[in-house]
Amino acid sequence: MAIDFQAEGLLDGLDGPAREARLELLERLASDGYELEELRSAARDGRLPLVAVERVLGGGVPRYTEREIADRSGLDADFLRRLWRALGMALGDPTERTFTDADLEAAERVKAFRDAGLDDDRILDLSRVMGRSMYGVAAAIGEVFRETYQQPGDDELSLALRYAEAARGLTPMLGPMLEHVLLLQQRSLIDQVAVEGSALADGRLADSEEVTVCFADLVDFTKLGESVAPAELGAVADRLEELAGDVAASPVRLIKTIGDAVMLQSSDTAELLAAALAIVDAADAEGEGFPQLCAGLARGEALSRAGDWFGRPVNLASRITGIARPGTVLVAGEVKDAVQRDFRFSFAGGRRIKGLDGEVKLFRARPPEARSED
């Protein structure tokens, strides 16, 4: 039985070409098996042009309840809900059929990880990292889609058709591409791991390792936010992340961005110091409209958890960055002592750092060709 979309209120407020486009889109979606309530919800939320894309990305038609996913995958329902929350997914009524075949396959893979010996806490830790990381990837892909496929003057029908065609063509390539990048990153990490004999003797890896950490902050970013539009401020932060990505070639890694700052880490102190100097210079090269950077580096024992780093060098590098002058790189004495390449250093004094014991000797670092100002 055909749906009377006018009577259902799905054409309210529309006339002319916009009404015709909405009507044809609704008819197409209904013929493809979309339920009236699903169409109502999409129209109410302003996402009718995206409904077909959601189906492409959703792994099929929702057909399972939470209990059915648990029973079929071998995962208990409580752990399944914890897993979904760790991934950043919303949880609805457990009796509704909201899960797809793809969701079932994912749950079965998690069961395989469990059977391979990973405990639940580790699985949840990995899920949180993947959820945060994939959210960023998904947001970036969505922005690229909008910029590429949304055109001035689009009506709902033309936009929906263009989005759906692009999603059907490109989505199958995303999985292999993401898998390839993940394997590249894993190989890069393996190349940097050094396992000590004492750690192998008792069957464990060392809990911490000697690393160098760098923070690079945009100078007066908060003040800048008072004078420019949010979009422009966001563009500055995005550009900082791009600059950091440009210098973060292995063995230097970009760990995270924190608004107006980036955190870099490496086991190779010289390479990280070179990267810090490069990113500060790159910010200067952006011109007057871009804030200067200041950077701080520290070295010591740190603990890696879920892709992040914790410990004294992390705290110290952050504090040193707050002391560094605009356009400079300031390092702790351990960093200076660990560098084998011909950087130039000038003593910047000793400072007592809040939260840390003792006085920290600080040095301003410059590239080899720079002349010392001592």
Q: What pLDDT, in 10s, does the model give residues 173-222? A: 988 998 898 888 777 666 555 444 444 445 544 567 899 999 999 998 87
For the chain, the average pLDDT equals: 86
Surface-to-core class of residue 213, CB atoms within 10 Å of its CB (0-12 exposed, 13-18 middle, 19+ buried): buried
**Percent of the chain with pLDDT strictly greater than 90:** 43
* Beta pairing class for 329-332 and 308-310: unpaired
> Is residue 58, in this structure, part of any structural domain at all?
no
> Is residue 56, in this structure, part of any structural domain at all?
no
**Percent of the chain with pLDDT strictly greater than 70:** 91
* The pLDDT value given to residue 334: 95
Question: Rounded to an integer, what distance in angstroms lies between the CA atom of residue 261 and that of residue 11?
Answer: 47
| Own/partner long-range contacts of 195-198 (Cβ < 8 Å, ≥24 apart) | none
pLDDT at 373 over 60: no
CA dihedral 16, 22, 25, 31 (to 10 degrees): -100
Are 80 and 215 contained in the same domain?
Answer: no
Are 248 and 121 contained in the same domain?
Answer: no
Count of structural domains within the chain: 2
Are 227 and 349 contained in the same domain?
Answer: yes
Helix (H, G, I), strand (E, B) or coil at 311: coil
> Is residue 46, in this structure, part of any structural domain at all?
no
> Is residue 216, in this structure, part of any structural domain at all?
yes
Are 102 and 251 contained in the same domain?
Answer: no
Q: Mean of the pLDDT values across residues 256-276?
A: 92
Surface-to-core class of residue 273, CB atoms within 10 Å of its CB (0-12 exposed, 13-18 middle, 19+ buried): buried
Cβ 168 vs Cβ 346: under 8 Å: no
Q: How far is CA 132 from CA 106, 165, 294, in A?
A: 17, 28, 27
* Beta pairing class for 293-305 and 344-352: unpaired
pLDDT at 239 over 60: yes
> Is residue 307, in this structure, part of any structural domain at all?
yes
> Is residue 267, in this structure, part of any structural domain at all?
yes
Question: Rounded to an integer, what distance in angstroms lies between the CA atom of residue 145 and that of residue 148?
Answer: 5
First to last CA, the chain: 87
pLDDT band at 305 (very low <50, low <70, confident <90, very high): confident
* The pLDDT value given to residue 199: 45
* The pLDDT value given to residue 195: 41
Are 287 and 339 contained in the same domain?
Answer: yes
* Entry pTM: 0.59
CATH number at residue 263: 3.30.70.1230
Question: Rounded to an integer, what distance in angstroms lies between the CA atom of residue 228 and that of residue 221?
Answer: 11
Lowest mean pLDDT among 47-61, 274-288, 299-313, 332-346: 47-61
Are 353 and 213 contained in the same domain?
Answer: yes
Are 182 and 214 contained in the same domain?
Answer: no
Print the domain residue range for 225.
208-366
Residue finishing a domain among 156, 187, 218: 187
Helix (H, G, I), strand (E, B) or coil at 330: strand
> Is residue 275, in this structure, part of any structural domain at all?
yes
pLDDT at 42 over 70: yes
Q: Mean of the pLDDT values across residues 340-367?
A: 87
Are 220 and 350 contained in the same domain?
Answer: yes
pLDDT at 372 over 60: no
Q: Mean of the pLDDT values across residues 330-337?
A: 95
> Is residue 231, in this structure, part of any structural domain at all?
yes
Q: Mean of the pLDDT values across residues 333-338?
A: 94
Residue finishing a domain among 158, 187, 216: 187
pLDDT at 223 over 90: no
* The pLDDT value given to residue 193: 52
* The pLDDT value given to residue 96: 87
pLDDT band at 24 (very low <50, low <70, confident <90, very high): very high
Q: What are phi and psi of 198, to 5 degrees?
A: -65, -30
Are 166 and 223 contained in the same domain?
Answer: no
pLDDT band at 52 (very low <50, low <70, confident <90, very high): confident
Q: How far is CA 76 from CA 68, 82, 99, 209, 261, in A?
A: 10, 10, 15, 37, 41
The larger pLDDT score, comparing residue 279 to residue 168, is at: 279
Closest among 350, 296, 297, 345 to 325, alpha carbons compared: 296
Question: Rounded to an integer, what distance in angstroms lies between the CA atom of residue 256 and that of residue 238?
Answer: 12
Closest among 374, 367, 298, 295 to 332, alpha carbons compared: 298
Cβ 348 vs Cβ 363: under 8 Å: yes
Q: How far is CA 188 from CA 89, 251, 284, in A?
A: 30, 8, 30
Are 224 and 318 contained in the same domain?
Answer: yes
pLDDT band at 370 (very low <50, low <70, confident <90, very high): low
pLDDT tens digit string along 89-136?
A: 877 788 888 888 889 999 999 999 999 999 999 899 889 888 888 888
* The pLDDT value given to residue 207: 65
Are 164 and 217 contained in the same domain?
Answer: no
Q: What are phi and psi of 12, to 5 degrees?
A: -60, 140
pLDDT tens digit string along 64-83?
A: 999 999 999 999 999 999 99
Are 221 and 352 contained in the same domain?
Answer: yes
